[in-house]
C-alpha cells in the first residue's frame, strides 16, 4: 500500500496492482507529494490489524496537522476467478479497515473520504448495454465480494464522501505481479510470438478501459475538494464494446504482424458484457482501444524490469 | 426470459429535421415489440453524427435525454456514410444489427420482417430491395445504380453486389467482425462478404423522400462514381485475372502463328510477301501476352498481400445457435412483422 501526503490531504491507497499503481502515479503527478510504501501482511488477520494500526497512526498524525484523510481501496488479491475462501478473507480485511476508519473518525472528529474501486465487469457479467439503472448481480464469489464491499461502506455514516467506481474490463501497462487481462496478455504473447490460449470466442464482446484513464479519473475525484456527499456508483467503461477479434486486429496493426490465439470453447466466460455510453460520468474520457494498445506495446518494449523492481523496493521501504 | 437483442445504426449527416420522426418510429417499434411478447427487444439505437453542422448534435442530445435507448457517437469530422456506419456498428452489442438512413427512407417498421427473413432463410445478412422506384422523379438514377451494381457483380464475381443496400440487417458478430477489419476507403458490404456468403434480399417499399419532395438527393453522379470506385477497390482482383487470361491467350495465339509461319517458310516460301514481318508480329504478340500474364501474376501477389494487410480472415467462427429461439416463434414473429408493416 501507499500513503501519499500532500498539504491538504493524507491519502491511503490499498492495493497497488494494475489499477492501484495507475491511481498512485496519477495522485503523485497531480500533487507532487511524496509517497511512503508499506508492505501489508494480508495473509493473517492479526498481522493485518497490526499493519493497519501503523497506517491509521500515520493518517491520524497527518489529520492532527490539518490534512483531510482519504482512503482508496483498489485491492483484490484473488481477482475475477477468486475462490470463496479468498474473497471471504478479503472482505474481512476490508471490514477491518472500515472499522479502523470509524474509530479514527470518532477519535479525531473528522470524517474521511472513501473511494472504492469495485468492478463493473464482475457485477454485470453477461449483461449488455449496462446503464446505471441496471441492477448488479453476483454470479461469482468475486462479484459477491464487490457487492458486499459496496454495501459495507454505503451503510456507514462515518465517511464525508463516498465514491464507488465500477470499471469494466481493464488493461494497462504490463508489470510483474500485476493482473494482465485479455488485452495485455495478447500483447505480451504477441511480442513474444507465442500462442495465446483464450477462454472465449472470437466474437465475445467486452468493454475495455485503460488503467491510466481510471487512475487519472479517480485521482481527480480524490483530490477534488467538493462538499460532503454520497453519489451513486459510477461506471468507468469505454461505452464501446470490442470483440476479441477487434482487439486482436488492433494489436496486429500496432505490432505489424499476425498474432495467434487458440480458443477454449468449453467456457462459461464467453457471454457478452457491454456498457451503454449514456451512463458514463462527465469528465470521464477513456482513450480509444487502438491508442491504448499502442501505449501498452511501446511501454512494454521499453520496459526495464530491473530498474522497475528497484523503484518498487524503494517504495516498499 | 432470454431475448434476442437488436441494435440499429444510423449515420447522421445534416439530419436535424428528420431525426425526431425516426426516433419516434424507433420508439414505437421498441414498445410494440415489448408488448408483443416475442423474445426480441430493441436494445439500442446508435446514431453516428458524421460532422453535421445543422444542429443535428443538439437534436440528438435532446432525443438521447428523452429516450435512454438512444446512443450518440460523434465523429470529429465528416468521414462519409461507410466509415460512420462502421463506427456505429463497432458501438453496438446486439445479436443483430440493422443499418438505417436518417430520413425514414428505411422505415424501422420493417425490421421485424427483415429479422423474420433472416431466421426463415437462415442467413447472416438480409438486404432490403426496393420494390419500386426509390427516386420517383428520375428513373435514370435507379437505372444507373442498378447498372453499376450489375457491372461490379460481373467484374468481381460477387453476385451479392446486386443486393447491396444501406438498409440491411446483419448478424451482430459478423457485422462487428467486418467493421473491425475495415480500413480507410473500404466498402463495408464487400468486407461483409469476407465473413459470410449467407446473404439474402427482401423486397420492401423504399422511397427517397428527400428526392421526392425537393428533387435533390444525397446521391449524384459524382457520388455514384465514387461508390463504384470504392466497390472495385475493395473487391478482390478477379477482374484483373481477365488481363492474365488474355495474356495466356495472346501467347497461345503467338505459338500457333509461329508454328504456321515456320511451316509456311518451309512449305510455301513464295507466299511470304514481306520477309520478317510475320516473325516480328508473332514476337510482339507473344511478348505482349507474356507481359500481360506477368502483370496478372504480380497483381495476384499484390492482392494477396493487400488482403492480408486489410485483415481478411483465414476463417471466421460464427455461432448461430441463438436463432433457434426465434425459429420456435417464427409464425408469431412473421405475424407481428406484418402488423408492424401495416402500422406504418
> In angstroms, what is the C-alpha Rg of chain A?
19
Q: Are B204 and B129 in contact (CB under 8 A)?
A: yes
Distance of CA A300 to the CA centre of its chain: 20
Do A255 and A190 form a contact (C-beta atoms < 8 A)? yes
pTM of the model: 0.80
* A252: chain B residues, CB-CB within 8 Å: 311
Whether A293 and A251 have beta carbons less than 8 Å apart is answered as yes
| Residue B310: predicted pLDDT | 74
Count A/B contacts: CB-CB distance under 8 Å.
68
Verify whether the Cβ–Cβ distance B317 to A263 is below 8 Å: yes
Taking the C-alpha atoms of residue B137 and residue B157, their distance in angstroms, rounded to an integer, is 32
Q: With an 8 Å Cβ cutoff, is B66 touching chain A?
A: no
Q: pLDDT digit string (tens) for B104-115? A: 889 999 999 999
**Cβ of residue B314 closer than 8 Å to a chain A Cβ:** no
Residues of chain A found within 8 Å of residue B42, distances taken between Cβ atoms: none
Picking from B71, B90, B180, the nearest residue to A277 by CB comes out as B71
Which phi and psi angles does A60 have, rounded to 5°? -65, -40
Cα A78 to Cα A87: distance, rounded to the nearest angstrom: 7
The percentage of chain B sitting over the pLDDT mark of 70, rounded to a whole number, equals: 92
Secondary structure, 3-state, A54-98 = HHHHHHHHHHHCCCEEEEEECCCCCCCCCCHHHHHHHHHHHHHHH
Task: Give the pairing type, strands A242-243 and A260-264.
Answer: unpaired
CB contact under 8 A, B90 and A240: yes
Q: Is the CA virtual torsion B197, B201, B207, B209 positive or negative? A: negative
What torsion do the CA atoms of B228, B232, B233, B239 make, to the nearest 10 degrees?
-160
Check A245 against B43: CB less than 8 A apart: no
Give dist(CA A213, CA A285) in Å, integer: 7
Q: Closest Cα to residue B201, out of B112, B107, B118?
A: B118
Which residues are CB-neighbours of B250 under 8 A, at least 6 positions away? B285, B286, B288, B289, B290, B292
Q: Which of A202, A242, A274 sits opposite B317 (nearest CB)?
A: A202
Q: What percent of chain B has pLDDT over 90?
A: 60
Least confident of A32-46, A251-265, B174-188: A32-46
Is A128 close to B5, i.e. CB distance below 8 A?
A: yes
Instruction: Determine contact: B312 vs chain A, CB below 8 A.
Output: no
Mutate which of A129, A207, A246, A264 to test chain B, going by most B C-beta atoms within 10 A?
A129
- Report the b/e string of A162-190 with b at 16+ CB within 10 A: bbbbbbbbbbbbbbeebbbbbbbbbbbbb
Q: From B68, B128, B75, select the one nearest B98 (Cα to Cα).
A: B128
Q: CA A164 to CA A182: how far, in whole Å?
A: 24
Contact A139, A126 (CB under 8 A): yes
Tell me what pLDDT residue B208 has: 67
ipTM score for this prediction:
0.73
What is the distance in angstroms between the Cα of B31 and the nearest Cα belonging to chain A? 18
User: Using an 8 Å Cβ cutoff, are A124 and A117 in contact?
Assistant: no
Q: What is residue B135's predicted lDDT score, i.e. its pLDDT?
A: 59
Task: State the Cα–Cα distance between residues A212 and A225, nearest whole angstrom.
Answer: 22
**Among chain A residues, CA nearest to B67:** A278
Average pLDDT over residues A229-243: 91
Confirm or reject contact between B291 and chain A (CB < 8 A).
no
A168-210 pLDDT, tens digit each: 999 999 988 888 889 999 999 999 999 999 888 889 999 999 9
CB spacing of B93 vs A205 below 8 angstroms: yes
Rounded distance between C-alpha atoms, residue A82 and residue B167, angstroms: 46
DSSP string, B77-129: S---HHHHHHHHHTT---SEEEE--TTSSS-GGGHHHHHHHHHHHT-SEEEEE
- Cα(B71)–Cα(B62) distance, integer angstroms: 11
Q: What is the Cα–Cα distance from A126 to A205, expressed in whole angstroms? A: 9
Average pLDDT over residues A248-260: 91
B319 and A133: CB-CB below 8 Å? no
Task: Name the residue in chain A with its Cα closest to that of B311.
Answer: A249
Q: Which helix (DSSP H) or strand (DSSP E) does residue B193 occupy?
A: helix B188-195
Nearest Cα residue to B156 out of B243, B246, B238, B245: B238
The confidence score (pLDDT) of residue A155 equals: 87
Buried b (16+ CB within 10 A) or exposed e, B248-269: eebbeebeebbeeeeeeeeeee
Do the strands A242-243 and A205-206 form a parallel or antiparallel pair, or are they unpaired?
Answer: antiparallel
B180: contact with A, CB 8 A cutoff: yes
Q: Which of B180, B186, B191, B309 is the mutation pick for testing A, counting most A CBs within 10 A?
A: B180
Q: Is the pLDDT of residue B142 over 80?
A: no
Task: Give the whole-angstrom CA distance, residue A155 versus residue A152.
Answer: 6
Which conformational region is residue B95 in: left (phi greater than 0), alpha (psi within -120 to 50 degrees), or beta?
Answer: alpha
Q: Residue B337's closest CA among B43, B119, B164?
A: B119
Which range, of A90-94, A106-110, A135-139, B273-277, averages the lowest pLDDT? A106-110
Phi and psi at A116, nearest 5°, equal -110, 125
* DSSP conformation class of B271: G
Nearest-neighbour CA in chain A from B18: distance (Å)? 22
Which of B93, B191, B195 is the mutation pick for testing A, counting most A CBs within 10 A? Answer: B93
Tens-digit pLDDT profile for residues B198-231: 999 999 988 766 656 665 555 567 777 887 888 8
Write out pLDDT tens, residues A67-120: 889 999 998 766 777 888 889 999 999 999 999 998 888 887 888 999 999 999
Task: Give the minimum alpha-carbon distance from B92 to chain A in angstroms, rounded to a whole number.
Answer: 7
Partners of residue A277 in chain B, C-beta under 8 Å: 71-73, 91
For A272, the closest chain B residue by CA position comes to: B93
**B43 three-class SS:** strand
Q: What is the 3-state secondary structure (H, E, C) of chain A?
A: CEEEECCCEEEEEECCCHHHHHHHHHHHHHHCCCEEECCCCCCCHHHHHHHHHHHHHHHHHHHHCCCEEEEEECCCCCCCCCCHHHHHHHHHHHHHHHHHHHHHHHHHCCCCEEEEECCHHHHCCCCCCECCCCCCCCCCHHHHHHHHHHHHHHCCCCCCEEEEEEECEEECCCCCCCCCHHHHHHHHHHHCCCEEEEECCCCCEECEEEHHHHHHHHHHHHHCCCCCEECCCEEECCCCCEEHHHHHHHHHHHHCCCCEEEEECCCCCCCCCCECHHHCCCCCCCCCHHHHHHHHHHHHHCCCHHHHHHHHHHHCC
Q: Give the pLDDT of residue B28.
A: 96
pLDDT in tens, A256-300: 888 999 888 766 677 899 999 988 998 898 998 999 999 999 899
Q: What residues in B contact A129, CB-CB < 8 Å?
A: 5, 43-44, 93
Query: What distance in Å separates the CA atoms of residue B204 and residue B341, rounded to the nearest whole number?
Result: 10
Residues of A103-142 as b/e, b for ≥16 C-beta within 10 angstroms?
Answer: ebbeeeebbbbbbbbbbbbbbbbebbbbbeebebeebbbb
Q: Which residues of B touch A203 (CB under 8 A)?
A: 172-173, 176-177, 317-319
For B245-258, how does the pLDDT look when each residue is reduced to its tens digit (9 = 90+)? 999 999 999 999 99
Partners of B71 on chain A (C-beta within 8 Å) are 239, 276-278
CB contact B68 to A (< 8 Å): yes
Hey, how many other C-beta atoms are within 10 angstroms of the C-beta on A78?
A: 16
On chain B, the residues whose CB falls within 8 A of the CB of A239 are 71, 91
Cβ of B180 within 8 Å of Cβ of A272? The answer is no
Contact with chain A for residue B319, Cβ under 8 A = yes
Q: Can you name the residues that pair with A4 across neighbouring β-strands?
A: A11, A35
Cα separation, A72 vs A14, in Å, equals 6
Amino acid at each position: 500500500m501507499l500513503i501519499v501526503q500532500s498539504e491538504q490531504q493524507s491519502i491511503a491507497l490499498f492495493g497497488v496492482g494494475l489499477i492501484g499503481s495507475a491511481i498512485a502515479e496519477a495522485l503523485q503527478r497531480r500533487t507532487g507529494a511524496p509517497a511512503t510504501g508499506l508492505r501489508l501482511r494480508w495473509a493473517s488477520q492479526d498481522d493485518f490489524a497490526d499493519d493497519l494500526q501503523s497506517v491509521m497512526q500515520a493518517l491520524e498524525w497527518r489529520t492532527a496537522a490539518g490534512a483531510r484523510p482519504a482512503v482508496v481501496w483498489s485491492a483484490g488479491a484473488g481477482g475475477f476467478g477468486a475462490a470463496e475462501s479468498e474473497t471471504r478473507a478479503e472482505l474481512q480485511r476490508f471490514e477491518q479497515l472500515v472499522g479502523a476508519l470509524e474509530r479514527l473518525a470518532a477519535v479525531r472528529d473528522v470524517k474521511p473520504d472513501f473511494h472504492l474501486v469495485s468492478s463493473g465487469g464482475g457485477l454485470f457479467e453477461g449483461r449488455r448495454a449496462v446503464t446505471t439503472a441496471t441492477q448488479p448481480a453476483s454470479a461469482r464469489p468475486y462479484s459477491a465480494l464487490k457487492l458486499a464491499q459496496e454495501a459495507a461502506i454505503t451503510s456507514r455514516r462515518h465517511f464525508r464522501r463516498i465514491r464507488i467506481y465500477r470499471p469494466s474490463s481493464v488493461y494497462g501497462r504490463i508489470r510483474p505481479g500485476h493482473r494482465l487481462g485479455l488485452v495485455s496478455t495478447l500483447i505480451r504473447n504477441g511480442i513474444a510470438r507465442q500462442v495465446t490460449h483464450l477462454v472465449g470466442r472470437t466474437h465475445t464482446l467486452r468493454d475495455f478501459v485503460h488503467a491510466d484513464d481510471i487512475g487519472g479519473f479517480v485521482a481527480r475525484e480524490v483530490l477534488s475538494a467538493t462538499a460532503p456527499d454520497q453519489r451513486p456508483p459510477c461506471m468507468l467503461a469505454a461505452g464501446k464494446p470490442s470483440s476479441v477479434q477487434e482487439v486482436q486486429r488492433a494489436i496486429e496493426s500496432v505490432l505489424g504482424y499476425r498474432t495467434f490465439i487458440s480458443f477454449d470453447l468449453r467456457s462459461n466466460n464467453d457471454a457478452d458484457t457491454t456498457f451503454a455510453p449514456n451512463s458514463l460520468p462527465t469528465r470521464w474520457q477513456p482513450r480509444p482501444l487502438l491508442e491504448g494498445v499502442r501505449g501498452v506495446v511501446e511501454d512494454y518494449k521499453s520496459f526495464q524490469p530491473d530498474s522497475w523492481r528497484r523503484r518498487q523496493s524503494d517504495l516498499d521501504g | 426470459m432470454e431475448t434476442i437483442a437488436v441494435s440499429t445504426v444510423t449515420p447522421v449527416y445534416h439530419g436535424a429535421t428528420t431525426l425526431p420522426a425516426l426516433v419516434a418510429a424507433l420508439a414505437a417499434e421498441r414498445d410494440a415489440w415489448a408488448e408483443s411478447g416475442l423474445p426480441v427487444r430493441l436494445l439500442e439505437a446508435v446514431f453516428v453524427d458524421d460532422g453535421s453542422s445543422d444542429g443535428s448534435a443538439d437534436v440528438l442530445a435532446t432525443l438521447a435525454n428523452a429516450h435512454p435507448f438512444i446512443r450518440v457517437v460523434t465523429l470529429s469530422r465528416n468521414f462519409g456514410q461507410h466509415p460512420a456506419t462502421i463506427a456505429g456498428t463497432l458501438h453496438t452489442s446486439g445479436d443483430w444489427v440493422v443499418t438505417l438512413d436518417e430520413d425514414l427512407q428505411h422505415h424501422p417498421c420493417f425490421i421485424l420482417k427483415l429479422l423474420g427473413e433472416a431466421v426463415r432463410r437462415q442467413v447472416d445478412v438480409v438486404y432490403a430491395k426496393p420494390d419500386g422506384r426509390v427516386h420517383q422523379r428520375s428513373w435514370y438514377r435507379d437505372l444507373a445504380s442498378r447498372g453499376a451494381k450489375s457491372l461490379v457483380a460481373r467484374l468481381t464475381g460477387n453476385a451479392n453486389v446486386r443486393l447491396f443496400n444501406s438498409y440491411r440487417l446483419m448478424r451482430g458478430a459478423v457485422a462487428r467482425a467486418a467493421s473491425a477489419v475495415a480500413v480507410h476507403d473500404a466498402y463495408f458490404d464487400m468486407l461483409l462478404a469476407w465473413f459470410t456468403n449467407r446473404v439474402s434480399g427482401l423486397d420492401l417499399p423504399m422511397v427517397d423522400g428527400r428526392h421526392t419532395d425537393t428533387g435533390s438527393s444525397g446521391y449524384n453522379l459524382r457520388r455514384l462514381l465514387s461508390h463504384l470506385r470504392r466497390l472495385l477497390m475493395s473487391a478482390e482482383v478477379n477482374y484483373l485475372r481477365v488481363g492474365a487470361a488474355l495474356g495466356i491467350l495472346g501467347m497461345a495465339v503467338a505459338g500457333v502463328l509461329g508454328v504456321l509461319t515456320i511451316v509456311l517458310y518451309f512449305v510455301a516460301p513464295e507466299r511470304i510477301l514481306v520477309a520478317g514481318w510475320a516473325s516480328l508480329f508473332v514476337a510482339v504478340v507473344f511478348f505482349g501476352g507474356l507481359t500481360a500474364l506477368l502483370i496478372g501474376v504480380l497483381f495476384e501477389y499484390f492482392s494477396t498481400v493487400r488482403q492480408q494487410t486489410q485483415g481478411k480472415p483465414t476463417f471466421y467462427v460464427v455461432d448461430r445457435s441463438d436463432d433457434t429461439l426465434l425459429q420456435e416463434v417464427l409464425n408469431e414473429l412473421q405475424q407481428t412483422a406484418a402488423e408492424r408493416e401495416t402500422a406504418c
